[in-house]
């Protein structure tokens, strides 16, 4: 994209400058990540501690997995506000299935079915019902939370099956399972988006839906698949969340996860209107948010002010991306 | 001649990113003339007009209005000097009413600050009446036809007491009778002392309505003179730098069996009782005025629109098409009109646009293979003469002609037997147009069935074996390509003549 801005001309005068612009527009998140990482290590020596680093990864893994699904939805030109509520609902259903059957496998299976079904419904509303994704998933957000609250009678439910907590609390070498799952999911979604036709179609549909349809793409099916995939990833996140403390709260689990996930996607450079963005960008967006949270804790910033800082970072990120 | 001089642009130079776009251009506009500004895409017409309109600043050179030098540092100053720019894409807010659009940004207010609605409506009505149109000032703009929107833009210019109106290809979206009305209007404006700068590719229109012309090529002023003293060929030659033949393209070759047969196709309010056949190797044209239903007809045939009745047979087999995917499986490809909105995916690379409809050809065990895509693109790049250095750049960086070639490559890769081209040369310059025609003819010679939709009768006359004329959703006449004349086509396209017998 560097020197071809002006149709076929080849302006050599501004080559160096345009290379720099290109570097920035392609890799601005990574550059921002490196700057923030270096600044953090200078500001607080405890930041670089390996345990602290692993702790950051552990803390971002749940939001990270949710944000992967959110990236795909936003690339398709939509948005999914229901992720937090669906996470709570999946958690509650998982614990119930787990306790009723005594089998971890059935618990996991239930989680995956509930999450992807909620996503499927979102997709159906958006694709076939032609409801704006913001509205459809806002409805799902309210409905899923309400069902979770009703089933759990407003409280928490706890698992009674031994071994379920291992999912989130065991580790392989130095990495906790959730971190490994997050990176594995990132790799899978990356391959899906960049090496398969599904990914190609999502980009096409997010960029120009009518042209995608006129290119003989089954736009409706792709949309339904996109929201189902987001739901599936939410269930993976829900399993980890539930397993971590062996319980899930119908009222407070997953609250505001949609905002954190959207923030990570936006910081990662994905365009709100779809068609443009990268999975790798979201990965670094998630890491940037994680480092910021971590630094604010290390530096004893009041928890009440942490939202302010996060908000500021999101807005700065978007302002810089507009520049290109 | 010179005592009438109104605007002079002298030695204007401008470059973008080190690329010179205008090299020493001079332009002289007289009072009360219609001046044609001609040139291929990329010749610098828009840049020159944007400089006059105050959007861009020239690197050097000066602008004189009534012999006084004026610095157009922003669009507002240009407007105050009485220059109005009517862009190709009309600047109308469709959710506002006519009078609200007219006064947008310069609303009349009373002392308290409330809008003087009745006064604005009265004045709007007055100006529109002067142009000979009767539109309710309180009508929403979204309910108006494109030609009326254009009239409102012109009215807006009159409202601002403009003395110079720049029109950038105003007739592209107009039907023939609307064009005539616009020309009448332009002639009236001219009489009242207003100068018009008219940008267009359509040379016949220039001949009809313009007094003088200036030709730009590659940022240089080639020639300026009186329209009357030149013939069209000379002007074309000046624009392109070489002469372009206007002869019929089609080589007669024998056709194969019927590929596509359509019977009784009807969609309420769009088209009715459509019958036609296309043979293997045949090029069939559909022409008519804007709103004749041909685009909708073929969008239905392609499965983009679903609400239609009637039968479609391909290779003598009845099929039901309710999604473009089904059309593709049946061997139909569609190169749609309005490339930007309907055909290109601007965020995807040139290669990915090419492979979008036939990804199966590039997959191995479910994964897309970049190298197969790249090799295949290289093949089409040579076949269709696509000019691009690096096919990994996004497609919107290419010129219109090259974008269109990529879209054609996309459908060739699908292997469609029946190719529908809707307005294939829209916004493409003369040289690239020629290449696209050659490609289409070559496809037919290879045995593809080709359907061309175009509002320009000369275009279908040049390349089609058979020409269908549509009027209000019906086929009103069918000609052999070599027998059709433009006048005859016009009669049927405007509904002044119908010939049911001829279409059987």
Range of the domain at A129: 28-41+48-322
Nearest to residue A119, comparing CAs of A163, A59, A68? Answer: A68
- Collect all residues of chain B within an 8 Å Cβ-Cβ radius of residue A190: none
Mean model confidence pLDDT for chain B: 86
Q: CB of A130 within 8 Å of any CB in chain B?
A: no
pLDDT over threshold 90, residue B356: yes
Span of A281-285, B115-119, B358-362 with lowest mean pLDDT: B115-119
Considering only the beta carbons, identify the residue of A6, A195, A276 that sits closest to B16.
Answer: A6
- Collect all residues of chain B within an 8 Å Cβ-Cβ radius of residue A191: 367
- Collect all residues of chain B within an 8 Å Cβ-Cβ radius of residue A208: 341, 344-346
Name which residue leads in pLDDT, A39 or B157.
Answer: A39
Interface of B with A (CB under 8 A): 16-19, 42, 302, 304, 323-325, 327-328, 334, 336, 341-348, 352, 356-357, 359-360, 363, 366-368, 387-390, 393-394, 397-399, 410, 414
Residue A52 resides in a domain:
yes
| Averaged pLDDT, B416-429 | 87
- Collect all residues of chain B within an 8 Å Cβ-Cβ radius of residue A214: 302, 304, 324, 334, 336, 342-343
A204–B345 C-beta distance less than 8 A:
yes
- Closest residue in A to B359 (Cα–Cα): A197
pLDDT at B148: 81
- Collect all residues of chain B within an 8 Å Cβ-Cβ radius of residue A9: 17, 19
pLDDT at A4: 37
DSSP string covering B122-163: HHHHHHHHHTT----TTSBGGGS-HHHHHHHHHHHHHHTT-S
pLDDT at B18: 67
Q: CB of A146 within 8 Å of any CB in chain B?
A: no
pLDDT digits (tens, 9 = 90+) for B216-253: 887 888 888 888 888 877 887 787 765 555 667 766 77
pLDDT at B284: 95
| Averaged pLDDT, B366-395 | 92
B18–A12 C-beta distance less than 8 A:
yes
Residue A303 resides in a domain:
yes
pLDDT at B504: 43
Please state, in angstroms and rounded to a whole number, the distance separating the CA atoms of residues B351 and A200: 12
Q: In which band, very low, low, confident or very high, does the pLDDT at B142 lie, cut at 50, 70 and 90?
A: confident
- Collect all residues of chain A within an 8 Å Cβ-Cβ radius of residue B349: none
Contact between residue B133 and residue B145 where contact means Cβ atoms under 8 Å apart = no
pLDDT at B17: 65
| Averaged pLDDT, B366-374 | 93
Residue A23 resides in a domain:
no
Q: CB of A172 within 8 Å of any CB in chain B?
A: no
Give Cα A317 distance to the centre of its chain: 17
Contact between residue B408 and residue B439 where contact means Cβ atoms under 8 Å apart = yes
pLDDT digits (tens, 9 = 90+) for B257-272: 999 999 999 998 889 9
A214–B343 C-beta distance less than 8 A:
yes
Chain A segment 261-290 residues within 8 A of B by beta carbon are: 275-276
Q: If you average pLDDT over each of B91-105, B135-149, B313-327, which comes out highest?
A: B313-327
Residue A146 resides in a domain:
yes
Considering only the beta carbons, identify the residue of A196, A206, A213 that sits closest to B324.
Answer: A213
- Collect all residues of chain A within an 8 Å Cβ-Cβ radius of residue B408: none
Considering only the beta carbons, identify the residue of B19, B304, B368 that sits closest to A9.
Answer: B19
Q: Which residues of chain A have pLDDT under 50?
A: 1-13, 324
Residue A237 resides in a domain:
yes
Domains (range + CATH), chain B: 2-240 (3.40.50.300), 245-331+416-504 (3.40.50.300), 344-415 (no CATH)
Domain count, chain A: 1
B82: its two tokens: 């009485």
- Closest residue in A to B340 (Cα–Cα): A211
- Collect all residues of chain B within an 8 Å Cβ-Cβ radius of residue A203: 345, 347-348, 352
| Averaged pLDDT, B425-431 | 76
- Collect all residues of chain B within an 8 Å Cβ-Cβ radius of residue A273: none
Nearest to residue B118, comparing CAs of B132, B131, B137, B105? Answer: B137
| Averaged pLDDT, B280-286 | 94
A183: which residues sit within 8 A by CB, 6+ positions away? none
How far does the CA of residue B306 sit from the closest CA of chain A (Å)? 13
B368–A200 C-beta distance less than 8 A:
yes
Span of A215-229, B163-177, B304-318 with lowest mean pLDDT: B163-177
Taking the CA atoms of residue B396, residue B400, residue B406 and residue B410 in that order, the dihedral angle to the nearest 10 degrees is: 90
Q: CB of A44 within 8 Å of any CB in chain B?
A: no
Q: 3-state class of A300 per DSSP?
A: coil
Residue A7 resides in a domain:
no
Contact between residue B330 and residue B322 where contact means Cβ atoms under 8 Å apart = no
pLDDT at B87: 81
Please state, in angstroms and rounded to a whole number, the distance separating the CA atoms of residues A194 and A232: 19
Sheet holding B68-70, edge to edge: B19-30, B5-16, B60-65, B68-70
When scoring B14, B16, B17 by the number of chain A Cβ atoms within 10 A, the one with the most, hence best to mutate, is: B17
**CATH label of the domain that carries residue A172:** 1.10.3470
When scoring A199, A215, A220 by the number of chain B Cβ atoms within 10 A, the one with the most, hence best to mutate, is: A215
Residue A216 resides in a domain:
yes
- The residue ranges of DSSP E strands in A68-135, in sequence order, are none
How far does the CA of residue A34 sit from the closest CA of chain B (Å)? 27
A203–B345 C-beta distance less than 8 A:
yes
Considering only the beta carbons, identify the residue of A12, A14, A200 that sits closest to B356.
Answer: A200
How far does the CA of residue A127 sit from the closest CA of chain B (Å)? 14
Residue A10 resides in a domain:
no
Contact between residue A95 and residue A160 where contact means Cβ atoms under 8 Å apart = no
pLDDT over threshold 90, residue B203: no
- The residue ranges of DSSP E strands in B344-428, in sequence order, are 363-364, 367-368, 418-422
pLDDT at A201: 97
B344–A214 C-beta distance less than 8 A:
no
- Collect all residues of chain B within an 8 Å Cβ-Cβ radius of residue A14: 17-18
């Amino acid at each position: 994209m560097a020197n071809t801005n002006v149709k076929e001309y080849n302006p050599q005068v501004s080559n160096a400058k345009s290379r720099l612009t290109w570097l920035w527009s392609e890799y601005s998140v990574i550059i921002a990540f490196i700057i923030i990482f270096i600044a953090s290590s200078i500001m607080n020596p405890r930041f670089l501690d390996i345990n602290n680093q692993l702790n950051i990864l552990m803390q971002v893994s749940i939001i990270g997995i949710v944000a992967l699904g959110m990236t795909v939805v936003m690339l398709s030109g939509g948005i999914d506000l229901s992720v937090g509520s669906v996470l709570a609902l999946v958690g509650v259903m998982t614990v119930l299935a787990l306790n009723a059957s005594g089998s971890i496998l059935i618990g996991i299976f239930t989680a995956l079915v509930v999450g992807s079904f909620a996503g499927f419904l979102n997709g159906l509303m958006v694709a076939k019902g032609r409801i704006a994704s913001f509205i459809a998933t806002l409805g799902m957000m309210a409905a899923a939370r309400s069902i979770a609250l009703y089933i759990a009678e407003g409280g928490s439910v706890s698992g009674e099956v031994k071994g379920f907590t291992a999912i989130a609390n065991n580790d392989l070498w130095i990495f906790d399972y959730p971190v490994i799952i997050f990176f594995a999911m990132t790799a899978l979604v990356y391959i899906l988006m960049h090496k398969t036709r599904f990914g190609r179609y999502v980009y096409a549909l997010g960029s120009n839906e009518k042209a995608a349809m006129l290119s003989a793409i089954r736009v409706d099916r792709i949309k339904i698949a996109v929201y189902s995939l987001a739901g599936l990833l939410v269930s993976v996140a829900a399993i980890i969340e539930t397993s971590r403390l062996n319980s899930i709260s119908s009222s407070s689990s997953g609250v505001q996860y949609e905002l954190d996930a959207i923030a990570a996607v936006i910081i990662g450079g994905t365009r709100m209107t779809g068609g443009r963005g990268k999975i790798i960008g979201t990965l670094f967006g998630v890491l940037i948010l994680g480092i910021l949270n971590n630094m604010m804790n290390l530096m004893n910033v009041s928890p009440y002010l942490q939202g302010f800082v996060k908000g500021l970072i999101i807005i700065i990120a978007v302002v810089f991306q507009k520049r290109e | 001649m010179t005592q009438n001089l109104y605007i002079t642009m002298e030695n204007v130079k401008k470059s973008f990113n080190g690329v010179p776009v205008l090299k020493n251009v001079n332009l002289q506009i007289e009072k009360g003339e219609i001046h044609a500004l001609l040139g291929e895409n990329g010749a610098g017409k828009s840049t020159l007009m944007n400089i006059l309109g105050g959007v861009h600043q020239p690197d050097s050179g000066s602008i004189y209005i009534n012999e006084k030098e004026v610095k157009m540092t922003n669009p507002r100053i240009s407007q105050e000097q009485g220059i109005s720019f009517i862009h190709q894409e009309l600047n109308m807010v469709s959710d506002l009413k006519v009078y609200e659009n007219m006064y947008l940004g310069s609303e009349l207010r009373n002392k308290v600050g409330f809008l003087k609605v009745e006064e604005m409506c009265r004045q709007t009505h007055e100006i529109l009446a002067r142009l000979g149109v009767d539109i309710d000032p309180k009508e929403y703009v979204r309910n108006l036809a494109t030609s009326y929107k254009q009239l409102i833009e012109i009215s807006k210019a009159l409202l601002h007491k403009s003395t110079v109106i720049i029109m950038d290809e105003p007739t592209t979206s107009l039907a023939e009778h609307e064009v005539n009305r616009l020309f009448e209007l332009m002639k009236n404006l001219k009489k009242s002392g207003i100068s018009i700068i008219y940008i267009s590719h359509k040379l016949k229109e220039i001949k009809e309505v313009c007094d003088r012309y200036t030709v730009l090529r590659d940022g240089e002023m080639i020639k300026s003179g009186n329209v009357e003293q030149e013939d069209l060929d000379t002007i074309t030659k000046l624009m392109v730098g070489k002469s372009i033949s206007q002869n019929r393209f089609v080589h007669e070759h024998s056709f194969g069996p019927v590929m596509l047969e359509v019977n009784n196709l009807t969609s309420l309010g769009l088209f009715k009782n459509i019958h036609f056949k296309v043979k293997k190797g045949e090029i069939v044209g559909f022409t008519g005025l804007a709103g004749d239903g041909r685009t909708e007809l073929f969008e239905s045939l392609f499965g983009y629109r679903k609400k239609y009745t009637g039968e479609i047979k391909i290779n003598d087999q009845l099929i039901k098409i309710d999604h473009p995917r089904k059309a593709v499986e049946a061997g139909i490809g569609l190169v749609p009109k309005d490339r930007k909105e309907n055909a290109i995916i601007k965020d995807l690379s040139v290669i990915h646009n090419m492979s979008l409809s036939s990804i199966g050809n590039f997959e191995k065990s479910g994964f897309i293979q970049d190298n197969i895509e790249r090799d295949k693109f290289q093949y089409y790049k040579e076949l269709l003469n696509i000019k691009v250095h690096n096919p990994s750049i996004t497609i919107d960086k290419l010129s219109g002609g090259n974008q269109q070639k990529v879209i054609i490559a996309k459908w060739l890769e699908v292997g469609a037997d029946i190719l529908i081209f809707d307005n294939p040369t829209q916004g493409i310059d003369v040289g690239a147009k020629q290449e696209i025609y050659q490609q289409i003819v070559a496809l037919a010679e290879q045995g593809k069935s080709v359907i061309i939709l175009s509002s320009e009768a000369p275009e279908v006359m040049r390349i089609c074996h058979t020409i269908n004329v549509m009027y209000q959703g019906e086929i009103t006449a069918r000609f052999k390509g070599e027998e059709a004349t433009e006048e005859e086509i016009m009669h049927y396209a405007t509904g002044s003549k119908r010939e049911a017998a001829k279409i059987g």
